[in-house]
Structure 1
Amino acid sequence: MADAAHLLSLPWLVAAVLAIVFVAAIVQINLGMGFGLTAAPLLALLDPALVPVPTLALGLMTASWGAWREREHVQWREVAVGVPGRIAGVAAGAGLLVVMPGPRGFMLAFGTMIALAVVLSAAGWRMRFSTASLLGMSTLSGLMGTLTSVGAPPMALIYQHRAAQQARPTMAAFFAVGCVFSLTGLALSGWAGPDDLLLVAIMAPAMLAGIAVARRLGRRFDRRFRPALLSVSAIAAVILILRGLGGLGV
């Protein structure tokens, strides 16, 4: 895995990373979710060091901004109900990372989780909103979010039929709180270090630019990007899985 100094030594890589983060921030602010699913698979292909910690840290910032912008519509009781599930998922994800068999094992697990995220996003399943479903999906969100920084798809399943005015800021608030728990779990498991802070600092300007552009777009954001996003994420997941399988001798 490359470090921040290596990233800065390759201008094309810096440009690609900043472009990905810029677009992901626009998606997150306008939909209340999607930063991880947009950014994580592509960043992992460029350099596994960019996930999950740096991407989660940026996701925390974009989700926090989205929740604050529409804070009067956040359903805090629902966020509180989902927190125990998120913590359980974080614990499971951090435990898996501790026993992960090297970088190739990480790529295999990462690619598998991204593939699951794509399936959940594309399936269109209907799930009744209840305390049980909220706890279950928040647990899966915590597991996926900690391993890959992509925790939105499980929550989107149960919020897909809620009014956007409530669903968008509530999911943003949930992800903001969830990212804090995931980052804590990653730090305790030894997956977060000083170099992650440098990577976040490099990528943060693109995130801020994306937020600024998203504010100008308002609600005119075109959701027809979704099929293209899922297609790109699926391709990235397959490549990561193949890399992991090759490294494991399969």
Structure 2
Amino acid sequence: MSVTGYCVLAVTILLASALQASIGFGIGMFAAPIVALVDPAMIPGTLIMVATLVTLMVVVREREAIDLHGTGWALLGRVPGTVAGALLLAFLPHRALAILLAGVVLGGVVLTSSGWIPAPRRRNVVLAGATSGLLGTATAIGGPPMALVWQRNSGPALRGTMSGFFLVGSLLSLVMLGLTGAVDGHTWWAFAVLVPAAVAGYLLSRALNRYLSPQRLRWLAIGVSAAGAVLLIARELLAM
């Protein structure tokens, strides 16, 4: 990895981690398209590791606001979704995975910006958990389904509940990726060198929570994610 490439990734992870720690989701939507452009081998393993670290810090900070009941039902759906995502990653070619990743981002952008709010009933929460497990394991973008079903929550409850779900779910994804051989030395090395950026992003979120509204951060994530996904699709199409 070149110095320029590392700087791009470090800044991306810093901003994505700040976003994740501020609104409870977004690290995949924000970072995955850019990371895929610089170093595709980091998708999804390294990005899931970074997300795990950030969500762990948020869970500790917002532990009193976590909805354990809702998290439990979401995790019930996450398990089969995680298995399906690991199998998809094992058999899908790189170019197809990159285009799928970009499509997931654009789909998440459309849904999260449309204002659609599904009722957080048990069935919807389980279904969202399964979809998040599949997408999160295959592409490191598992946030949109859970953000949709829990978007009526706000502040610490949203950040804490989302982070509690993603912490356990990300660990499950990493186990499945390890069993399918998708986690190797490069995955761990890339994670290690990006840890400082992730921690800095978490610390930045503490300041952002005081001065910037979650709504503004959400729209920033949507805009950058859409632009990154379009660039990723363009790169793959031009490479054909």
Which residue matches 1:41?
33
Q: 1:240 aligns with which of 208, 232, 236?
A: 232
Contact 1:115–1:237 under 8 Å retained in 2: yes
Q: 1:114 aligns with which of 105, 119, 138?
A: 105
Q: How does 1:75-94 map to 2 (within 5 A)?
A: 75-94=67-86
Question: Could you tell me how far 1:137 is from its partner in structure 2?
Answer: 0.7
Query: Relative to structure 1, is the Cα distance of residues 246 and 12 closer, same or farther in structure 2, using a 3 angstrom cutoff?
Result: closer
Which residue matches 1:216?
207
Q: How does 1:96-245 map to 2 (within 5 A)?
A: 96-101=88-93, 103-223=94-214, 224-245=216-237
Contact 2:97–2:139 under 8 Å retained in 1: no
Contact 1:104–1:245 under 8 Å retained in 2: no
Report the residue type matching 2:62 in the other structure.
Answer: E
Alignment partner of 1:92: what SS?
helix
Any runs of at least 4 consecutive aligned residues in structure 1 with deviations exceeding 6 A, and if so which? none
State, as a whole percentage, how many aligned pairs show the same letter. 32
Q: Is 1:62 matched up with 2:54?
A: yes
Q: What is the rounded CA distance, in whole Å, between the counterparts of 2:14 and 2:231 in structure 1?
A: 23
Contact 1:114–1:233 under 8 Å retained in 2: yes
Q: 1:28 aligns with which of 11, 20, 45?
A: 20
Question: Could you tell me how far 1:78 is from its partner in structure 2?
Answer: 1.5
Per-residue CA deviations over 1:206-248 (Å, capped at 9, x if unaligned) read 111112222234432344243343222122223323444555x
Report the residue type matching 1:41 in the other structure.
Answer: P
Q: What is the rounded CA distance, in whole Å, between the counterparts of 1:108 and 1:24 in structure 2?
A: 21
Contact 2:51–2:170 under 8 Å retained in 1: yes
Unaligned 5+ residue runs, structure 2?
A: none
Contact 1:34–1:152 under 8 Å retained in 2: yes
Question: Could you tell me how far 1:89 is from its partner in structure 2?
Answer: 1.2
Report the residue type matching 1:72 in the other structure.
Answer: E
Q: Is 1:19 matched up with 2:11?
A: yes
What is the RMSD of the two structures over their aligned residues, measured on CA atoms? 1.7
TM-score, L = length of structure 2: 0.92
Query: Relative to structure 1, is the Cα distance of residues 45 and 174 closer, same or farther in structure 2, using a 3 angstrom cutoff?
Result: same
Q: What is the rounded CA distance, in whole Å, between the counterparts of 1:226 and 1:157 in structure 2?
A: 12
Alignment partner of 2:120: what SS?
coil
Question: Could you tell me how far 1:105 is from its partner in structure 2?
Answer: 2.0
Report the residue type matching 1:25 in the other structure.
Answer: S
Contact 1:104–1:243 under 8 Å retained in 2: no
Per-residue CA deviations over 1:142-191 (Å, capped at 9, x if unaligned) read 11111221111111111111243322201111011110111112112221
TM-score, L = length of structure 1: 0.89
Report the residue type matching 2:81 in the other structure.
Answer: G
